[in-house]
Amino acid sequence: MNAKFESSTDEIGMKILQELQINARMTYSEIGKRVGLSSPAVAERIYKMEEAGIINGYHADINPNIFGHNILAFITLTTQPEKYQKIYSFAENEKEIVECHHVSGNESLILKVVSVSISHLESMVEKLSKFGETKSSIVLSSPVKKKMLESI
């Protein structure tokens, strides 16, 4: 483990990360009150965590249902390595593909897809089938969702 990582992830650093995962728009002053540091100290620690690559960015958690994307599915794709780059480019350009993971095991890739309807999902499966064998699973519910630090 590198020194920047270790110094940033002490007990107070972990508390700062937890607060940011709850609300990344929280002021340094408010975070400081919660973790027992001054606002400049919090700012410096967050800057160091960004520089060390611990914090990759700040994002809004957008509800796809509001935009009519009521279907969430995972599609596994089994294909040859020489097709990966074409698939990655395809995934980057398809707005319904929100994640693409290269995985071990029998499948090559797992894609997380949001869709407005079963027919749109079927169209996406057809497009992906050109790259290899697909298997789809439609998400019925997501009863457990954790922030990254909750699972570490």
Model pLDDT, residue 36? 96
Q: CB-hemisphere CA count at 13 Å for 110?
A: 10
Over its length of 152 residues, how does the chain's per-residue pLDDT go in tens digits?
455 555 567 899 999 999 998 899 999 999 999 999 999 999 999 999 999 999 999 988 888 889 989 999 999 999 999 999 999 999 999 999 999 999 999 999 999 999 999 999 999 999 999 999 999 999 999 898 877 666 56
Architecture of domain 64-138: 2-Layer Sandwich (3.30)
Cα–Cα–Cα angle for 135, 85, 60, rounded to 5 degrees: 75
Model pLDDT, residue 59? 86
Predicted model pTM? 0.78
Sketch the domain layout of the chain as residue ranges: 3-51, 64-138
Convert 6-47 into a string of H (helix), E (strand) and C (coil). Answer: HHHCCHHHHHHHHHHHHCCCCCHHHHHHHHCCCHHHHHHHHH
Model pLDDT, residue 5? 54
Instruction: Look up residue 106 and give its DSSP letter.
Output: S
Residue 95 and residue 33: Cα distance in Å, rounded? Answer: 40
Model pLDDT, residue 9? 79
Structural fold of domain 3-51: Arc Repressor Mutant, subunit A (1.10.10)
